């Protein structure tokens, strides 16, 4: 009888520890700072050059962005040196809409044959990352994030010429 009570007590403690760990891990928020690599792309239909691609890379203490807007051929994408303020603006958008919670998002509507899609991949200098993609399915605040990123990256694209 005494052994059974000890076993039940240990089981209860283990269950409580597992519940607390689940709560802590589910509330873990990706730290949105110091982007090392950023890639966001989306398509709007299947017309020629209908995909939009934005990348940001940190190498040799310099940030560069590559921008390929809608309707522009891949060969005409632009690579631009990016200020720290612009990078902070991107990080602010990701933080504002809790894009870290998108990590692991992978949904698609298999019943749509010619819809829109997106892919987001971010790695940070601290080793954390975010990966999300969808086809006719989007995470919370997707359109707000897309619109704000469009503004940032298209301002970069248009500032070159």
> Per-10-residue mean pLDDT for the chain, 161 residues long?
73 70 51 87 84 95 95 93 95 96 93 86 95 95 97 92 62
Q: Are residues 24 and 41 in the same domain?
A: no
Q: Are residues 13 and 50 in the same domain?
A: no
Q: Are residues 13 and 53 in the same domain?
A: no
| Cα separation, 20 vs 23, whole angstroms | 5
Q: Are residues 51 and 66 in the same domain?
A: yes
- Residue 155 is predicted with a pLDDT of 95
| Cα separation, 104 vs 36, whole angstroms | 19
**Could you tell me which residues come within 8 angstroms of residue 44 by beta carbon, excluding any fewer than 6 positions away?**
50, 52, 70, 116
Domain that holds residue 24: 1-30
- Residue 6 is predicted with a pLDDT of 76
119 and 133 Cβ atoms separated by less than 8 Å:
yes
pTM for this prediction: 0.79
| Cα separation, 101 vs 5, whole angstroms | 41
Number of domains forming the structure of the chain: 2
Q: Are residues 22 and 88 in the same domain?
A: no
Q: Are residues 80 and 151 in the same domain?
A: yes
CATH code (residue 139) = 3.30.1560
- Residue 92 is predicted with a pLDDT of 96
Q: Are residues 22 and 59 in the same domain?
A: no
- Residue 28 is predicted with a pLDDT of 45
CA distances from 84 to 37, 41, 63, 94, 108 (A): 14, 22, 8, 15, 35
- Residue 26 is predicted with a pLDDT of 47
């Amino acid at each position: 009888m005494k052994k059974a009570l000890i076993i039940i007590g240990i089981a209860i403690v283990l269950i409580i520890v597992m519940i607390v760990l689940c709560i802590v891990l589910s509330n873990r928020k990706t730290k949105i700072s110091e982007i090392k690599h950023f890639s966001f792309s989306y398509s709007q239909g299947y017309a020629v050059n209908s995909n939009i691609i934005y990348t940001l890379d940190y190498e040799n203490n310099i940030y560069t962005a590559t921008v390929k807007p809608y309707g522009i051929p891949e060969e005409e994408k632009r690579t631009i040196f990016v200020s720290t303020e612009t990078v902070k603006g991107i990080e602010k958008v990701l933080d504002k809409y809790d894009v870290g919670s998108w990590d692991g998002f992978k949904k698609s509507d298999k019943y749509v044959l010619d819809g829109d899609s997106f892919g987001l991949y971010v790695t940070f200098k601290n080793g954390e990352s975010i990966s999300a993609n969808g086809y006719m399915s989007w995470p919370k605040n997707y359109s707000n994030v897309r619109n704000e990123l469009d503004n940032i990256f298209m301002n970069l694209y248009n500032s070159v010429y």
